[in-house]
């Protein structure tokens, strides 16, 4: 890890000089293997990390296998209906016991020597058990190992590799309010749709968190997307004045949201109509909002149906509630490479028509073949390549709006959302917080 | 309409590949019918419907025309400067033949080089081709299924398959 002078360097890697209106981050945080090793220890092993959505393990026996924070996990619901997260590594000699991405099963059989486990993780069988000492039969350390902490908030399921971690709700802090908003789109609840967008970038993972609620890049990075929408619907993004399409809030613990109501040009399946959806779509959007107003009140329904939110949950979860809802989580594999898994979240009771419009809407902007996301990936990779010059050009500048960040309306084109991330990152990395 | 030959279908698919590799994308879009769709499923759900599952690409005619136009712009950053691509098309088979529609499948490998990194996109495409004596072939459906478990290390599918 770091020797003493390097630790001094890490302490100085974020320069937060509010009174001067300056906020800078040293570019070595994106390139150093030692930084990533320390991030694994102080961030990924201590923070609550998104695992999945309850709808992905709706039935007893259903399971999903995926990596979280670089570790292979099994997320499942056992026969009696309880949710679990197990390390997908056999307690015998380590093989991954679950090889399918998802499915339904009353248990798991390790392919290597054939140990079998019930859906609640209990070891239920070992071929030729008589060679083991009697004490070893039924030894709980030979069950599938559960992740130390598993918790759910409004359908979003998180794990924590630190058994001493604070509660999920305390951790989520102000982000609870926004996860709640997303959970309320559907009267009958929400579900993750089939189909994952599994992609990544040849860049540092932190660059995606910086990018995911960055209003400042919209007009330049995504000029072609906005030109497409303007040509189609005549609608434009008001990005020509500060705050023209929304505000940012620091939600505590490194989380942040950018939000607006009615200031963006795209359509929202819940429920802001655009011309391609036709008259039937218009009637349906009106009906969705009317029913929601009866359920949650006029004001709330207006915010949900007409508003947009990009929610950043520290360290690696993004819930973008924009032209569709995407849940996106990402993990580093090297200082200059990360992996992303992204899904579409939708109301369970959505009509077939609106579901179709949602999926089209999602793909007009989002995902590795959308009209916008590939250009984001490109920007992150250009940054990473630029950091090869970081011994000469040392600092990233994230000073936009520092002087106003405690005022009533930090703008979406400011950089408060990134500073919230970096302040938390810095306090965890230097041990000032845990 | 008499049955079409595999050689004629291959010539057409090789022509499509050539348009893509030479970045004549508006001509590529003009190969499609007004009711056409261009589809690329998610890597984990190749058999699902795009109306109920998340895809990577679910273009109707309007959007595939815009996809082509967008990629030609300087501000389509992932493809500026244009990557170098090479589409190879093999194993062409006529699945249905004889009416005014031919159903065709083929294997493909697309190589893409950008900033000195090469990404390879292998897979299988299914076409529904509208056949006419006067106009030759037009594409009503192109569905390209990637033989990748994830778009990694690629990170993006910013070209047309
Ligand atoms: S490693 Fe699983 S049974 Fe041996
Ligand atoms: Fe972006």
Model confidence pLDDT, tens digit, residues A276-333: 999 999 999 999 999 999 999 999 999 999 999 999 999 999 999 999 999 999 999 9
Q: Is A3 exposed, middle or buried (0-12, 13-18, 19+ CB in 10 A)?
A: exposed
Residue A154 has pLDDT above 90, yes or no: yes
Whole-angstrom Cα distance, residue A335 to residue A35? 8
In this prediction, residue A262 has a pLDDT band, given cuts at 50, 70 and 90, of confident
Residue A158 has pLDDT above 70, yes or no: yes
| Predicted local distance difference test score (pLDDT) of residue A322 | 97
In the three-class reduction of DSSP (H, G, I as helix; E, B as strand; rest coil), residue B110 is classed as strand
Question: In this structure, what DSSP letter does residue B49 have?
Answer: -
Q: Is B116 on the interface with A (CB under 8 A)?
A: no
pLDDT tens-digit profile of B82-140? 999 999 999 999 999 988 999 999 999 999 999 999 999 999 999 999 998 877 999 99
- Mutate-to-test residue for ligand 1 from A87, A96, A113, highest number of ligand atoms within 8 A of CB: A113
| Predicted local distance difference test score (pLDDT) of residue B1 | 57
Q: Which chain A residues have a beta carbon less than 8 Å from that of B50?
A: 359
Q: Is A141 exposed, middle or buried (0-12, 13-18, 19+ CB in 10 A)?
A: exposed
Closest residue of chain A to B74, computed from CA coordinates: A224
- Mutate-to-test residue for ligand 1 from A72, A87, A88, A90, highest number of ligand atoms within 8 A of CB: A90
pLDDT tens-digit profile of A186-198? 999 999 999 999 9
Please give, rounded to a whole number of angstroms, the shortest distance from the CA of B86 to a CA of chain A. 18
Interface touch B156/A198, C-beta < 8 Å: no
ipTM value of the model? 0.97
Residue A138 has pLDDT above 80, yes or no: no
Does residue A244 contact residue A238 with C-beta atoms inside 8 Å? yes
* B80: its two tokens: 């500026």
In order, the DSSP letters of A78-143 are -TTS-EEEEESS-TTT---S--SSEEE-SEEE-TTT--EEETTS-EEE-SSGGGS-GGGTT-GGGS
CA angle B25, B26, B31 (to 5 degrees): 95
How many other C-beta atoms can be found within 10 angstroms of the C-beta atom of residue B93?
11
Pocket of ligand 1 contains residue A95 by CB under 6 Å: yes
Does residue A172 contact residue A255 with C-beta atoms inside 8 Å? yes
Q: Nearest 10 degrees: CA dihedral of A164, A168, A174, A177? A: -170
Give distance in angstroms: CA of A102 to centre of ligand 1.
Answer: 21
Ligand nearest to the CA of A222: 2
| Predicted local distance difference test score (pLDDT) of residue B154 | 97
Does residue A205 contact residue A377 with C-beta atoms inside 8 Å? no
Residue A36 has pLDDT above 90, yes or no: yes
Q: What share of chain A is helix, strand, coil (3-state, %, to 5)?
A: 35, 25, 35
Residue B44 has pLDDT above 80, yes or no: yes
In the three-class reduction of DSSP (H, G, I as helix; E, B as strand; rest coil), residue A150 is classed as strand
Q: Which chain B residues have a beta carbon less than 8 Å from that of A193?
A: 52-54
Does residue A312 contact residue A213 with C-beta atoms inside 8 Å? yes
The residue behind tokens 């505000």 is A247
Q: Which fold has domain B6-146?
A: Nuclear Transport Factor 2; Chain: A, (3.10.450)
| Predicted local distance difference test score (pLDDT) of residue A139 | 86
| Predicted local distance difference test score (pLDDT) of residue A6 | 63
Q: In what order do the strands lie in the sheet with B32-41?
A: B55-60, B32-41, B136-146, B117-132, B101-114, B84-96
Which of A193, A195, A228 is closest, CB to CB, to B70? A228
Interface touch B152/A339, C-beta < 8 Å: yes
Q: Is B50 on the interface with A (CB under 8 A)?
A: yes
Does residue B67 contact residue B160 with C-beta atoms inside 8 Å? yes
Interface touch A374/B43, C-beta < 8 Å: no
Q: Is B75 on the interface with A (CB under 8 A)?
A: yes
Does residue A338 contact residue B30 with C-beta atoms inside 8 Å? no
Q: Which of A302, A210, A200 is nearest to A256 (CA)?
A: A210
Parallel/antiparallel/unpaired status of strands B32-41 and B136-146? parallel
Termini Cα distance of chain A:
18
| Predicted local distance difference test score (pLDDT) of residue A134 | 84
Q: Is B89 on the interface with A (CB under 8 A)?
A: no
Residue A66 has pLDDT above 80, yes or no: yes
Q: Which domains does chain A have, with CATH numbers?
A: 53-168 (2.102.10.10), 184-429 (3.90.380.10)
Ligand nearest to the CA of A375: 2
Read off the pTM.
0.96
In order, the DSSP letters of A339-365 are EEEEEEEEETT--HHHHHHHHHHHHHH
Interface touch B42/A379, C-beta < 8 Å: no
């Amino acid at each position: 890890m770091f020797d003493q002078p390097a630790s001094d360097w890490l302490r100085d890697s974020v320069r937060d000089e509010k009174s001067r209106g300056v906020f800078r981050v040293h570019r070595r945080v994106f390139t150093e293997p030692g930084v990533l090793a320390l991030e694994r220890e102080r961030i990924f092993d201590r923070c609550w990390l998104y695992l999945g959505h309850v709808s992905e393990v709706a039935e007893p026996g259903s399971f999903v296998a995926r990596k979280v924070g670089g570790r292979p996990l099994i997320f499942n619901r056992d026969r009696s209906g309880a949710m679990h997260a197990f390390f997908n590594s056999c307690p015998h000699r380590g093989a991954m016991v679950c090889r399918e991405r998802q499915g339904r099963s009353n248990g798991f059989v390790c392919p290597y020597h054939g140990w079998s486990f019930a859906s609640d993780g209990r070891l239920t069988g070992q071929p030729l058990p008589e060679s083991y000492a009697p004490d070893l039969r039924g030894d709980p350390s030979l069950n599938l190992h559960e992740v130390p902490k598993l918790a759910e908030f409004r359908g979003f399921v998180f794990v924590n590799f630190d058994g001493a971690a604070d509660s999920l709700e305390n951790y989520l802090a102000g982000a609870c309010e926004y996860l709640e908003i997303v959970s309320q789109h559907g009267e009958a609840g929400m579900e993750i749709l089939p189909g994952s967008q599994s992609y990544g970038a040849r860049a540092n993972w932190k660059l995606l968190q910086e990018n995911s609620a960055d209003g400042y890049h919209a007009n330049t990075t995504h000029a072609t997307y906005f030109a497409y929408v303007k040509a189609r619907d005549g609608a434009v993004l008001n990005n020509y004045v500060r705050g023209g399409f929304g505000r940012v809030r620091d939600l505590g613990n490194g989380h942040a949201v950018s939000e607006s109501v009615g200031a963006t040009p795209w359509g929202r399946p819940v429920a802001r109509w655009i011309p391609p959806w036709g008259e039937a779509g218009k009637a349906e959007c009106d009906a969705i909002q009317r029913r929601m107003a009866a359920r949650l009140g006029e004001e709330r329904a207006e915010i949900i149906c007409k508003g947009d939110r990009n929610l950043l949950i520290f360290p690696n979860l993004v819930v973008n509630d924009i032209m569709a809802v995407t849940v996106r989580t990402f993990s580093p594999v090297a200082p200059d490479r990360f992996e992303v898994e992204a899904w579409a979240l939708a109301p369970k009771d959505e009509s077939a028509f609106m579901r179709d419009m949602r999926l089209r809407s999602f793909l007009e902007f989002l995902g590795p073949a959308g009209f916008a996301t590939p250009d984001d990936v490109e920007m992150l990779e250009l940054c990473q390549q630029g950091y090869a010059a970081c011994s000469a050009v040392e600092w990233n500048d994230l000073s936009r709006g520092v002087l106003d960040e405690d005022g009533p309306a930090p703008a979406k084109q400011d950089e408060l959302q990134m500073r919230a991330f970096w302040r938390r990152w810095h306090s965890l990395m230097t041990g000032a917080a845990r | 309409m008499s049955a079409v030959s595999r050689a004629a279908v291959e010539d057409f698919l090789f022509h499509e590949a050539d348009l893509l590799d030479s970045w004549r994308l508006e001509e590529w879009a003009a190969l499609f019918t007004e009711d056409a769709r261009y589809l690329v499923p998610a890597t984990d759900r190749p058999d699902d419907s795009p109306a109920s599952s998340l895809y990577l690409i679910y273009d109707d005619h309007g959007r595939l025309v815009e996809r082509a136009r967008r990629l030609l712009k300087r501000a389509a950053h992932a493809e500026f400067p244009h990557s170098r691509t090479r589409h190879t098309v093999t194993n062409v088979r006529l699945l249905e033949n004889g009416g005014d529609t031919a159903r065709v499948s083929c294997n493909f490998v697309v190589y893409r080089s950008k900033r000195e990194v090469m990404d390879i996109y292998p897979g299988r495409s299914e076409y529904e081709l509208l056949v006419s004596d006067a106009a030759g072939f037009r594409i009503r459906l192109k569905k390209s299924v990637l033989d990748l478990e994830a778009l990694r290390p690629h990170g993006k599918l910013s070209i047309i398959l």
